[in-house]
A and B are shown apart, each in its own frame.
Chain A
Amino acid sequence: MGIVGEMRFVGHLMRLNLASNMEYRASFVSQIVGMLINNGIYFVFWLLFFDRFQEVRGYRIDEIYLLFAVFTLAFGMAFTFAGNALEVAGLIAQGRLDYYLTLPRPILPHLIFSRMGQSTVGDLTFGVLAYLFTGRLDLVSIGLFVAATLLAAVIFATFAVTTGALAFFFGNTAQLSSHLVQALGSFALYPFGLYQGAARLILLTVIPSAFIGAVPVQVVQLRDGGALVLLAGVAILSAIVMVGVFRVGLRRYESGSAININI
């Protein structure tokens, strides 16, 4: 089975997911609205902030629009499609990999795409809206924005899976893993100019927040092709790290006997 076959399979999984989500349409809609509000509140914070202070380390409200557009769209894409990426630690700890392990599919894509995010559709929507507010509606900008955001989404999702795979080594790390993802996101949502020295180094390596916020913003704002290439390199690298950690971890998988259901 080649790449095309795997893609078709992932496509089928997604259709199935959509069907499963549609079973609960009411909560689906309310979750989306909830997410819109959630992002809106942070946005309101920045509006209030810049209303009073105008500028901080080179960022004005315009940059914030773009930052939010990149961030929420990347987040939305990553976890709407790779819905299980945020659940990896829990799935491992509860022994829920059994299902995937008994089926003849590469486990990582099968696992990651077996669920679709619901509330994250709200982030998708928010991202698109925020981008419209930036007013950069020429084709080059849109092209760069889409490319950079896609790469950021890959980095976001692979980071989530990698931190989730820590559960292979340390038991149930569900909360730790989700907090690490939250850390990745939180740092990304502030102007990168705020961080100096060691913090800057960390955010370019271990917790690669720069690549899901500041760098994509730079790609779009400055039409920086070099930054886009860098972004692609980081995406590939983090995918390699993810596969490696997961492979090693799988040898230590302990299954477990909790009663599971496929929701």
Chain B
Amino acid sequence: MASIVLKDLRKAFQVKRKAAGLGGSLASLGRPRYETVEAVRGISLEMESGELLAFIGPNGAGKSTTIKMLTGILHPTSGEAQVLGFVPWKQRRELAYHIGSVFGQKPQLWYHLPPIDTFDLFAHIYELDRKTYERRRDFLVEAFDIRDLLEVPVRKLSLGQRMRCEIAASLLHHPRIVFLDEPTIGLDVVAKQQLRDTIKQLHAEEQTTIFLTSHDAGDIESLCERVVVINHGQVIFDDAVKVLKRRYLRRKVIEVRFAEPTNGHLDLAGVSVIKLGRYGAKLELDTSSRPIETVIQDLMAGHSIVDINVMDPPMEEIIRAIYQRDSAFEPVAEGA
């Protein structure tokens, strides 16, 4: 059953423009110049219930705007959308009982109060009866490992701790769909992975439909089955994560620092050297030709290593690759 359907959804904003300098200010005072910025330019999409979908794209691609239309926060300029059979901006309240949402940049937890107080408030907001609520809360507290944080004022929590509490709060009412907008933004590597694991586990256990936006390729790789890439308000890729990985996430960059100076050259099969210094190197690797583990093993066998860092290509590069592929005359040969 489709739980989310979008048809040619569009959203345009009016943005005021002003020329530089005092002259510009005075001119815009008299007759302000407006420019229409199309944040979302005709997105069509269907999502089955129980799916875990990643909605990715660079900053300003229209991810948040889309999610805000799907949760009833924004009215679209044109187009249609249904979430669980509701039109979000028309049936906001009915829909709200069945969905949960977390906006990475807009905390829902009350800043000066401990999370437990916001949880209690949410129980009232969603009209949960005391017993059901407490059972659910205790379950989530375990799942997100936040028992020790419950009674600490939110302002004293770290970003990672806060985000775990935010997500737990959004799940109190057993939503059928959860929208997570940039949940890992600003988190360090460990906190990110911890959060991803929890989300994954929860999805596995409860088959909640999860709609997640991110501009971090790592989120998608470790979390999702299906990925939709948008850029400039349009869908430019919609397929399984496997496909995205095979086509565009094959490349990894390895940064390595050595304890002793190298002898000036570094030879590893299937790996190209981008930069090589006396104490460090930057390498590039195509994971379809050679698994990353074996490269690291080789490196460690031949050198004593102080630090090693494996990175995904940045979002912008994936998008560039998608465009290139689409416009290429000859089909790119797909690796196994």
Q: Which residues of A contact B (CB under 8 A)?
A: 1, 5, 8-9, 12-13, 16, 19-20, 23-24, 95-99, 101-106, 110, 171, 250-255, 257-263
A103 to B71: give the CA distance in the assembly, Å.
Answer: 10
5 A-B residue pairs with Cβ-Cβ distance under 8 Å, sorted by A, are: A98-B103, A104-B93, A105-B125, A255-B68, A263-B112
Contact with A along B41-68 (1 / 0, CB 8 A): 0000000000000000000000011001
Residues of B within 8 A of A250 (CB): 75
Residues of A within 8 A of B65 (CB): 255
Candidates B68, B99, B118, B125; contact of A9 at CB < 8 Å = B125
Given A102-B73, A251-B75, A252-B75, 18 more pairs with CB closer than 8 A:
A5-B127, A8-B124, A19-B113, A19-B117, A24-B112, A96-B106, A101-B72, A102-B96, A103-B96, A104-B95, A104-B126, A105-B125, A106-B93, A255-B74, A257-B105, A258-B105, A260-B107, A262-B111
B73 touches A255 (CB 8 A): yes
Candidates B101, B106, B124; contact of A12 at CB < 8 Å = B124
What total count of A-B pairs have CB within 8 Å? 92
Residues of A within 8 A of B121 (CB): 12-13, 16
Q: Which residue of A lies closest to B69 (CB)?
A: A255
Residues of A within 8 A of B92 (CB): 101
A171 to B110: give the CA distance in the assembly, Å.
Answer: 26
Residues of A within 8 A of B118 (CB): 262
A16 touches B71 (CB 8 A): no
CB of B13 within 8 A of chain A?
yes
A99 touches B108 (CB 8 A): yes
Residues of B within 8 A of A99 (CB): 106, 108
Q: Which residue of A lies closest to B15 (CB)?
A: A254
A262 touches B110 (CB 8 A): yes
B113 touches A20 (CB 8 A): yes
B31–chain A nearest beta-carbon distance, Å: 15
A261 touches B107 (CB 8 A): yes
Candidates A23, A98, A106, A252; contact of B106 at CB < 8 Å = A98
Main secondary structure of the interface of A (DSSP, over half): loop
B74 touches A263 (CB 8 A): no
Q: Which residue of A lies closest to B123 (CB)?
A: A12
User: With A9-B124, A13-B121 as given contacts, are A23 and B153 in contact (CB-CB < 8 Å)?
Assistant: yes
A255 to B101: give the CA distance in the assembly, Å.
Answer: 15
A263 touches B93 (CB 8 A): no
A104 to B46: give the CA distance in the assembly, Å.
Answer: 24
B161–chain A nearest beta-carbon distance, Å: 15
B107 touches A262 (CB 8 A): yes
B13 touches A104 (CB 8 A): no
Residues of B within 8 A of A261 (CB): 107, 111
Residues of B within 8 A of A106 (CB): 93
Candidates B13, B107, B110; contact of A16 at CB < 8 Å = B110
In the complex, which of the residues A1, A13, A102 has the most CB atoms of chain B within 10 Å of its own CB atom?
A102
A21 to B74: give the CA distance in the assembly, Å.
Answer: 31
Residues of B within 8 A of A252 (CB): 75
CB of B167 within 8 A of chain A?
no
B109 touches A262 (CB 8 A): yes
Residues of B within 8 A of A251 (CB): 75, 89
A154 to B329: give the CA distance in the assembly, Å.
Answer: 69
Residues of B within 8 A of A8 (CB): 124
A64 to B91: give the CA distance in the assembly, Å.
Answer: 50
A25 to B48: give the CA distance in the assembly, Å.
Answer: 51
A257 touches B64 (CB 8 A): yes
B238–chain A nearest beta-carbon distance, Å: 25
B92–chain A nearest beta-carbon distance, Å: 6
Residues of A within 8 A of B74 (CB): 253-255
B13 touches A260 (CB 8 A): no
Q: Which of B118-162 contact A (CB under 8 A)?
A: 118, 120-122, 124-127, 153
A261 to B154: give the CA distance in the assembly, Å.
Answer: 10
CB of B97 within 8 A of chain A?
yes
Q: Which of B74-102 contact A (CB under 8 A)?
A: 74-75, 89, 92-97, 99, 101
Q: Which residue of B lies closest to A100 (CB)?
A: B73
Contact with A along B146-182 (1 / 0, CB 8 A): 0000000100000000000000000000000000000
B96 touches A253 (CB 8 A): no
Q: Which residue of B lies closest to A258 (CB)?
A: B105
A244–chain B nearest beta-carbon distance, Å: 17
A236–chain B nearest beta-carbon distance, Å: 24
A104 to B99: give the CA distance in the assembly, Å.
Answer: 10
A106 to B96: give the CA distance in the assembly, Å.
Answer: 11
B71 touches A101 (CB 8 A): yes
A238–chain B nearest beta-carbon distance, Å: 24
A17 to B16: give the CA distance in the assembly, Å.
Answer: 37
B111–chain A nearest beta-carbon distance, Å: 4
Residues of A within 8 A of B75 (CB): 250-253
A200 to B151: give the CA distance in the assembly, Å.
Answer: 55
A95 to B68: give the CA distance in the assembly, Å.
Answer: 11
Residues of A within 8 A of B109 (CB): 262
B73–chain A nearest beta-carbon distance, Å: 4
Residues of B within 8 A of A23 (CB): 112-113, 153
A263 touches B111 (CB 8 A): yes
A259–chain B nearest beta-carbon distance, Å: 5
Residues of B within 8 A of A262 (CB): 107-111, 118
A23 to B72: give the CA distance in the assembly, Å.
Answer: 33
Q: Which of B268-325 contact A (CB under 8 A)?
A: none
A163 to B113: give the CA distance in the assembly, Å.
Answer: 30
Residues of A within 8 A of B71 (CB): 101-102
Q: Which residue of B lies closest to A102 (CB)?
A: B101
